[in-house]
A = this chain, B = another copy of it.
Amino acid sequence: MQASMYAFSVPVFVKTLGNLSAILGKGAAHAEQKKIDPAVLLAMRLAPDMFPLTMQVRIACDFAKGAVARLAGEEPPKWEDNETTIAELQDRIARTIGFIQGFGPARFDGAEARTVTVTIRGEPVQYAGLAYLAHAVLPNFFFHAATAYDILRHAGVELGKRDFIGKV
C-alpha cells in the first residue's frame, strides 16, 4: 500500500477511536467495581482550565470526522454535544467510525492540494490538505485521545499504553 492522504487518515482514526472506546469501557468497569459514579470520571480534568474527559472524547471524534469530510471536499455534519454517559460517548465514537469508513481511498484523490477552510476562534483559516492533515489534524486528534487516556490513568483506571496503541 502506498503512503496517501487516505492511509494517514481513515485507518489511523478508526484504529485509535476503537481503542479509545475500549479504554472508556475499562473506565466504566472500574467505576462499577469501585462504586464510583461514572459521571465523576467524565467530569475529570488534569487542570482546572483543561477540558474534562467528555470533551476530550468529543473533540477527538470531531477532528476525525471533520478532517475526513473536508479532505474529501465535503462540509462535515454537525453533531450535538449532548452525551452524559460513557455509553453515549462510545456511541459517538461508533458513529464517527461509521461516518469516516464511508469515505474510501478514491475520495482522497488530490486531497493533498485541496484547500480546506476551518473556523478557528471565529476566523476562517485556510490550509492545503496535506498541511491540514499532517500538522493540524493528527497532532490535535492524538492530543485529545491521549489526554482522555491520561485522565483515566490519573483517575486510577488500570490501563497500559497497549490499550492506546492496540495491535499493529
Task: Enumerate chain A interface residues (CB-CB to B < 8 A).
Answer: 1-5, 7-8, 11-12, 15-16, 46-47, 50, 111-112, 127-128, 130-132, 134-136, 138-140, 142-143, 146-147, 149-150, 153-154, 156, 161, 164-166, 168
Contacts and interface: CB of A to CB of B under 8 A. Distances in A.
B165 A16 contact: no
Q: Copies per complex?
A: 2
B153 A46 contact: yes
A143 B162 CA distance: 11
Contact of A143 (B2, B136, B156, B161): B161
21 contacts: A1-B128, A2-B130, A3-B7, A3-B111, A3-B112, A8-B8, A11-B135, A12-B138, A15-B139, A46-B153, A47-B156, A50-B153, A132-B168, A135-B165, A138-B142, A139-B142, A140-B161, A143-B146, A143-B164, A146-B150, A154-B154
